[in-house]
Amino acid sequence: MRNSIIVPIYNEVENIPILLRRIAEVLDRLAGESELILVDDGSHDGSSALLDAAAREDSRLVVVHFRRNYGQTAAMQAGLELARGEFLVTLDGDMQNEPDDIPQMLAQLEAGYDLVHGWRKDRQDTLLTRKIPSRIANWLISRVTRFPIHDLGCTLKAMRREIAAELELYGEMHRFIPILAHWRGARCLEMVTTHHPRRFGQTKYGLSRTVRVVLDLLTVKYMLDYYASPMKLFGRIGLLFMLIGGLLLSSTLGMKLFADFDMTGNPMLVMGALFCIVSVQLFSVGLLGEANTRLYYRRNERRPFTIRTIVSQASEYDQADPRPNTIPYRNAA
């Protein structure tokens, strides 16, 4: 299998016929064997039956049905784990992404990049509720993560199989795929892609999602800087609290010795003791985080580094296959 196209679907019954026809035209032009994985994220508008009917007619289609709506990130993760292709492409099912951009993205993978992510430079969405919040969020994420990017919200992405195998998506993490891949050493490229206005159905995104994105940004920032060594974060804060607490207690003791000030009525005594207690708690959290990190790497046979390739004539250094699929594959047809 050369190429796997992954599309999360949620209540897109009007867009599905157009989507399948346009992607089929692209698949016919791609070199090598290809598949189209459609993840039905708990649709209830007739999309499920339409997808099953299409899968019975086209052997390249694989339809995955969720028991309920789990969200786009879960649908993306399921599709990536099911994919059998060497190159994996993700795009939205609302026909706002342009399938004709896929061959150009795959060509960039052929040229040596590990991940190519789209940039909706001429975005066809509402200004106040979609474009302005997106620009602010992208600017904030780029500054916090120190990863230069214009559009993290574009679902259209192409990546190598080994990159997808290292991703663990949850929450709203699908939008942070380029940052997570770059953190693992992937060579990323942002490419300008075509964006269309939505013709049918209703958008599933709104301003309420901004809060979840900000919270996930905090998680990503922690993973980038402190995931392998949590003590660097909690230890520094603990030392700061310990220093403040020590200064407050020293000042209280000095006031008692040199000014005969009553310690029991001095609020600095309580504040100093509180800061010291909090610092001990922070040190404890850091130590527990360090222990959990070690257990995580040992239990899952993971390492806090990534090897791109090994050059040697010894056969024992041949690269192993990527992580096997964790979801059993079943032909929907």
Tell me which of 173, 202, 225 is where a domain ends: 225
133-179 pLDDT per residue, tens: 778 877 888 888 888 888 888 889 999 999 998 887 776 778 888 98
183-233 pLDDT per residue, tens: 888 999 999 999 888 887 676 665 566 667 777 777 778 777 777 778 888
**Are 235 and 168 members of one domain?**
no
Q: pTM above the 0.85 mark?
A: no
**Are 54 and 74 members of one domain?**
yes
Q: What is the CATH number of the domain that holds 98?
A: 3.90.550.10
**Are 30 and 169 members of one domain?**
yes
**Are 191 and 278 members of one domain?**
no
For residue 304, being part of any structural domain is answered with no
**Are 191 and 77 members of one domain?**
yes
For residue 318, being part of any structural domain is answered with no
**Are 281 and 147 members of one domain?**
no
**Are 236 and 216 members of one domain?**
no
Tell me which of 188, 203, 225 is where a domain ends: 225
Question: Can you give the residue range of the structural domain that contains 41?
Answer: 3-225
**Are 185 and 142 members of one domain?**
yes
**Are 15 and 162 members of one domain?**
yes
Tell me which of 225, 251, 273 is where a domain ends: 225
Total domains, the chain: 2
**Are 161 and 236 members of one domain?**
no
For residue 48, being part of any structural domain is answered with yes
Strand order in the sheet with 34-40: 61-65, 34-40, 3-9, 87-90, 157-160, 115-119, 188-192
**Are 121 and 252 members of one domain?**
no
**Are 172 and 202 members of one domain?**
yes
For residue 262, being part of any structural domain is answered with yes
pLDDT in tens, the chain (333 residues): 899 999 999 988 999 999 999 999 999 999 889 999 999 888 888 898 899 888 888 889 888 888 888 888 888 888 888 888 999 999 998 888 999 999 999 999 999 999 999 988 888 777 766 777 778 877 888 888 888 888 888 889 999 999 998 887 776 778 888 988 888 889 999 999 998 888 876 766 655 666 677 777 777 787 777 777 788 888 888 889 899 999 988 888 888 788 777 777 678 888 888 888 988 888 888 778 777 766 665 665 555 445 454 444 555 445 444 444 334 434 444
If you average pLDDT over every residue of the chain, what do you get? 81
- Please report, as a single letter, which amino acid is at residue 327: I
C-alpha span between 202 and 197 (Å, rounded)? 11
Helix, strand or coil, per DSSP, at residue 221 = helix
Tokens representing residue 215 in the block: 């919270």
**Surface-to-core class of residue 221, CB atoms within 10 Å of its CB (0-12 exposed, 13-18 middle, 19+ buried):** middle
